[in-house]
Amino acid sequence: MERLRVGFIWHMHQPYYKDPLTGAYSVPWVRLHGIRAYYDMAKILLDFPDIRVTVNFVPSLLLQILDYQQGQTRDIFLEYTLRPAADLEEAEQRFILRYFFMANWETMVKPMARYYELLHDRGINPDEQTLDRAVFQFKARDYLDLQMLFNLSWFGFKAVEESPALSELISKGRNYTEEDKAVVIRHQHDILRRLIPLYRGLEETGQIELTTSPFYHPILPLIYDTNIARRCMPHSPLPDRFEAPEDAKNQISKAVEFHSRIFGKMPRGSWPSEGSVCPEVIPLLADAGLRWIATDEEILLNSMTMLSRKDAVYRSYIAESEGREIGIIFRDKEISNLISFTLAKMEAAPAVDSLFKGFKAVHDMFENRNESALVTIIMDGENPWEYYPEGGRRFLTELYSRLSKSSDFMTVRISDDLDRHPPRQRIHHLYSGSWINHDFDIWIGSFEENLAWEYLSRTRRALLPLLNDASIPPERREAAWEAIYAAEGSDWFWWYGDDFTSAQEDEFDRLFRGHLAGAFRHLGQEAPKYLSRPIIHLHPAKHVTVPVNFIHPVLDGKRTTYFEWQGAGRYDAMMRAMVFGAGPPLLSAIYYGFDLTHCYLRIDPIEGDDPEKLKGYEIHVHFFDGPEEYKCVIPSTNGIPSRFFINRSRDGIRYELLAEADTIAMEQVLEIAVPFDALGWKPGERFNFIVEVLVDGKVIETYPPKGYIPIDVPGKDFEQMMWSV
């Protein structure tokens, strides 16, 4: 009887973090995972030459590793690491205090006594006041130790084993020097330079197989057609249809070409992003030359409902659609999740005992049938090891050591296994879903997720004529396509909605919108206004009171009487500085209200500030609901503005002048009246608005900074309704 075959697929993945505006990386995860898990997972295999595994690299990750390899780029965290601690400005100190504890506290911070001490000195759950206190208390030596310990904590066990210098710095523990810092950064760059050649060499010796994913890690079925989500999420609200089969095809073909160029060998297999599959993508994958794909066992069990799990999961299949076919294997969910989420809490030996118990159950079942079996373990190859002591060193050593000696189990590369055990059973109707709950709920269906899909759709639709315009230089069109493809990545959608939260979800939101805005800029177009508004906070703002009755203010630019604006809605702009830790705002409050014919706005500068300053600003009031926008432009002037301009955009990109109005006054405050008939608004309609302050055409402040102020167009019974409320 053949030994049970164990097929590990370690999936290595990061989204494309390069800031479209600056070209720098705004988060450090490629660099830090590079010196940790990516390096460890390759180097440990050299200690166990009989172990065979498959490693799946997302091309967008490889692209970023190459940037670091060439020394052509830096990330913001690296910049703040390199800054001499004695020269740090207060904003830089706050950044380091806020973000340089981004490591697993239990396994990466606590083992380093000084690092843990600094964490407590800063505060476990820092708000702005806590950070104020820490900035006051921390000295240059504290910041230098923190810069060092953050970077040292991310080195993997193999890097430390190989470098006496790193071991000495970790043992030193505190009182670091700027020269010590230079040693750490030099070691990081050295490891990153060796990463890709290391993996390429392991494949050349036959110890690993390298596979790929769609280039920027999109959810292929949703890029193909978001309505495919209806199959597994029939009752979820979906966005207006996004349909781009050619983008799905290009994400695959670009990945295969890039992988072949980097590793000198065409990939035979693929882990479609998040294990997301549907029948429509089978021809695209097969036509790109891929021989096999992998996904989760629940996809199989929903594709062939007559099979029991024990009979189904431990063999390979052929999936077919539209006359094309591809090999397909399925992830053992229980064993994969055991390693990913459970075994980190156990000692290495009993943890591996748990795995071997699962292996033996499968082995014995198939031995009794005189059949062979493949257990496929597919999981993240980077993040789980942060939760294991010593970055997973003891667990992986125990696992690979015992597998190397086992007479019952053997590790295999997936392509080798499919060559020796060709799939025979066919799947005629592949289920549409992902590895998470066999649906696409993580990436579509919530307000924020759906809005992101609409932004992607609007951008692609608006730019398609230019993308196909042969008169535009091909390099500019190619750059615009790359920006769109990058925005199609799954990670941006992962952090939208209520499924997950992160300290950096705002940055993921900014990068998603930045990639879309970059597509416009590459084609010489101004990015639409909606791309400047955070999706993740596009909800009614806090610190707003709503109108409760009609108002009839005299437009004289003065704080005439309390009663003139009594009953109006009000946004407290002073809370902006308190909540977001910003400097003093330019505005103190925004009042808004209406009668049956006009919407009234009053914009107040800071009490005691020179009201003349308002005249030096250009002020935009944006009313929006979906792609349609109205923009009231109050121009900057040396005197008192005598009129303002009302513009409309149906797509958020191109504006047309609707009307000019002279219902404006500015002295102590700015007051305007916007006629409803100029906007075409009807009672019962809802619009949202924000106020922007500009200098020389550049937005310097937005109110509210996150969210919007909703306004409902009133009918004649408005006051009666509000009275009853």
Is it the case that residue 579 has pLDDT exceeding 60?
A: no
Tokens, residue 597: 């014919």
Q: Does residue 621 sit in the same domain as residue 678? A: yes
| Rg from Cα positions in the chain | 29
Q: Does residue 353 sit in the same domain as residue 451? A: no
Range of the domain at 493: 447-532
Share of the chain above pLDDT 90, in %: 76
Specify the pLDDT at position 407: 96
Secondary structure class of 663 (helix, strand, coil): coil
**Distance (Å, whole) CA 542 – CA 572:** 9
Cα 570 to Cα 567, 602, 681, distances in angstroms: 9, 9, 21
Specify the pLDDT at position 127: 82
Mean pLDDT of the region 627-648: 86
127 in any annotated domain = no
Q: Does residue 333 sit in the same domain as residue 362? A: yes
Residue 709, beta-bridge partner list: 689
Cα 695 to Cα 347, 391, 637, 671, distances in angstroms: 60, 50, 12, 20
Is it the case that residue 388 has pLDDT exceeding 60?
A: yes
Q: Does residue 480 sit in the same domain as residue 513? A: yes
Which CATH number characterizes residue 519's domain?
A: 1.20.1430
CB 555 within 8 A of CB 672: yes
**Distance (Å, whole) CA 166 – CA 160:** 6
The count of residues in the chain is 725
Share of the chain above pLDDT 70, in %: 96
Residue-wise pLDDT for 93-125, tens only, equals 999 999 999 999 999 999 999 999 999 999 988
CB 3 within 8 A of CB 375: no
Mean pLDDT of the region 255-274: 98
Q: Does residue 477 sit in the same domain as residue 496? A: yes
**Distance (Å, whole) CA 714 – CA 549:** 10
Specify the pLDDT at position 581: 40
Specify the pLDDT at position 578: 43
The domain boundary residue, chosen from 532, 566, 591: 532
CB 296 within 8 A of CB 259: no
87 in any annotated domain = no
232 in any annotated domain = yes
**Distance (Å, whole) CA 167 – CA 524:** 51
Banded pLDDT at 723 (limits 50, 70, 90): low
Q: Does residue 374 sit in the same domain as residue 473? A: no
Name the amino acid, one letter, at 96. Answer: I
Name the amino acid, one letter, at 649. Answer: S
Specify the pLDDT at position 103: 96
Specify the pLDDT at position 608: 62
Residue with tokens 């003891």: 394
Q: Does residue 222 sit in the same domain as residue 280? A: yes
Mean pLDDT of the region 695-708: 84
Which CATH number characterizes residue 615's domain?
A: 2.60.40.10
525 in any annotated domain = yes
Number of domains within the chain: 3
As a whole number of Å, the end-to-end CA separation of the chain is 77
CB 712 within 8 A of CB 548: no
Residue 686, beta-bridge partner list: 712
Please provide the DSSP assignment of 282-349 as one string: HHHHHHTT--EEEEEHHHHHHHSTTS-HHHHTTS-EEEEETTEEEEEEEE-HHHHHHHHHTGGGS-HH
122 in any annotated domain = no
Residue 320, beta-bridge partner list: 325
304 in any annotated domain = yes
Residue-wise pLDDT for 441-451, tens only, equals 999 998 899 99
Mean pLDDT of the region 552-572: 89
**Distance (Å, whole) CA 148 – CA 174:** 9
Q: Does residue 701 sit in the same domain as residue 591? A: yes
Mean pLDDT of the region 249-270: 98
Specify the pLDDT at position 531: 92
Tokens, residue 705: 């900074």
Which CATH number characterizes residue 409's domain?
A: 3.20.110.20
Mean pLDDT of the chain: 92
Name the amino acid, one letter, at 599. Answer: C
Is it the case that residue 332 has pLDDT exceeding 50?
A: yes
80 in any annotated domain = no
Report strand pairing: 324-331 vs 374-380: unpaired
Q: Does residue 451 sit in the same domain as residue 385? A: no
Banded pLDDT at 611 (limits 50, 70, 90): low
Q: Does residue 464 sit in the same domain as residue 612? A: no
The domain boundary residue, chosen from 532, 562, 586: 532
**Distance (Å, whole) CA 346 – CA 688:** 52
Mean pLDDT of the region 624-638: 84
Give ∠ CA 381-386-389 in degrees, rounded to 5.
115
Specify the pLDDT at position 722: 62
Mean pLDDT of the region 415-420: 98
Stated pTM of the model: 0.85
Q: Does residue 618 sit in the same domain as residue 698? A: yes
Is it the case that residue 706 has pLDDT exceeding 80?
A: no
Tokens, residue 141: 């030596």
The domain boundary residue, chosen from 438, 459, 488: 438
114 in any annotated domain = no
Q: Does residue 377 sit in the same domain as residue 484? A: no
